[in-house]
Amino acid sequence: MRLPRAYVEFATLGNIHSLLRICLPDKIVKKIAGEMGIPYASFFLSAIAFLKDVRNSCAHQSRIWDKTWLSKKKTPILRQDRGLISRTAELDKTAAALCICAIILGKIAPKSKWRDRCKDLLSSTEPTIPELYKHLGFTNAQWSSDKIWR
């Protein structure tokens, strides 16, 4: 099933999350998740909710670089990851959102330079903010060599 292009272009991330969570059958959500490179529908739904929270914080000029995002109420993302992101980033930190973006953009816009620009930005900031990767929630300094970022 393909969503009409106009809907996707004008819907908010919250609308898309609600559509996926409430309106579409699990079978369709699982297929969409698979096409985005995420093999588990419940993890995909949690990831979209997580991105929605990050987007809202950015839109309202909140701090995101060393923020802990997930509360005990929002744990499905922790249960369904199975190493997809947790090998590179702590699941409750901003680095996880960056990894989710890298995975999804790798599927929907494979020629996008976003991953390279993100890596360049973080590496150029490293001298000013030592161990920036830790503040963001990456698990080690070699985070950019993970397959998500290649």
Instruction: Please say if the pLDDT value at position 7 is more than 60.
Output: no
Token pair listed for 29 = 């959500």
Nearby residues of 37 by Cβ (< 8 Å), 6 or more positions away: 103, 104, 106, 107
Token pair listed for 45 = 């739904």
Cβ(100)–Cβ(51) below 8 Å: yes
139: nearest Cα among 91, 81, 105: 91
Higher pLDDT, 75 or 146: 146
Beta bridge partners of 89: 138
102: nearest Cα among 90, 118, 126: 118
**CA–CA distance, 36 with 99 (Å, rounded to integer):** 13
Report pLDDT digits (tens) over 96-121: 999 999 998 998 889 999 999 999 99
pLDDT score recorded for residue 73: 62
pLDDT score recorded for residue 71: 63
Cβ(107)–Cβ(37) below 8 Å: yes
Token pair listed for 57 = 């914080």
On whether the pTM is more than 0.85, the answer is: no
